[in-house]
Chains A and B, each alone.
Chain A
Amino acid sequence: DGGITQSPKYLFRKEGQNVTLSCEQNLNHDAMYWYRQDPGQGLRLIYYSQIVNDFQKGDIAEGYSVSREKKESFPLTVTSAQKNPTAFYLCASRDPGTGIEAFFGQGTRLTVV
């Protein structure tokens, strides 16, 4: 079945550590996105990529980095510079063919301990 797979589902990080969240899709979608969701707030865009080897900062890119070496993969690294990393992270892709603007993975819940 086609879809977006995020791993791990739950992630615990010590303060000062970098962690990488995985996002893989087999939908052949060009555009991929990373969002962060906090209680009481709407989803906020961290980074997006329209095509392989290209990505753009979203509204809250500070403390995060991404890469897009393959169409299928768009990993997000949460660096130690991110002051408040505990959140629910959602990866999404866009399917212009169906008009689905954001097709989400299952999410990764990151907790800093």
Chain B
Amino acid sequence: RKEVEQDPGPFNVPEGATVAFNCTYSNSASQSFFWYRQDCRKEPKLLMSVYSSGNEDGRFTAQLNRASQYISLLIRDSKLSDSATYLCVVKSGANNLFFGTGTRLTVIP
């Protein structure tokens, strides 16, 4: 079983839509969770950390469900510039970062 699993998509949504991605992780002892954004042929960049109580950054909301071992990312009012691949990242232990395969989002005019 993979450490981190994501729906690869693609998700094609119109501008202004709300879209949600989920990610599940296998290690119940995982301590930290993140969403990274990766543009085509570029490096991943940290989008936001995911906190136990859930957190919001503008149009982006991240949530963690430890009982079910999943994290989610909600994007409201999608913009064309949101088109990218979103990577779910889970930290287990001091040096173990596990990356999901990414979910590809395309926002359509």
The interface of chain A, by Cβ under 8 A from chain B, is: 31, 35, 40-45, 48, 50, 56, 88, 90, 99-107, 109
User: Of the candidates B2, B4, B89, B102, which one forms a contact with A102 in the assembled complex, judged by CB atoms under 8 Å apart?
Assistant: B89
Looking at chain B's contact residues, the main secondary structure is: strand
Interface size for B (C-beta < 8 A) is 23
Within 8 A of A (CB), among B51-102: 87, 89, 91, 95, 97-102
Cα(A4)–Cα(B77), bound, Å: 33
Asked if A42 meets B45 with Cβ closer than 8 Å, knowing A101-B32, A101-B89, the reply is: no
Asked if A41 meets B101 with Cβ closer than 8 Å, knowing A48-B95, A101-B89, A102-B89, the reply is: yes
Looking at chain A's contact residues, the main secondary structure is: strand
Cα(A31)–Cα(B45), bound, Å: 17
Residues of B within 8 A of A90 (CB): 43-44
**Contact across chains for A42 and B100 when beta carbons are under 8 A apart:** yes
> Which residue of chain B has its CB nearest to the CB of A40?
B101
Residues of A within 8 A of B98 (CB): 42
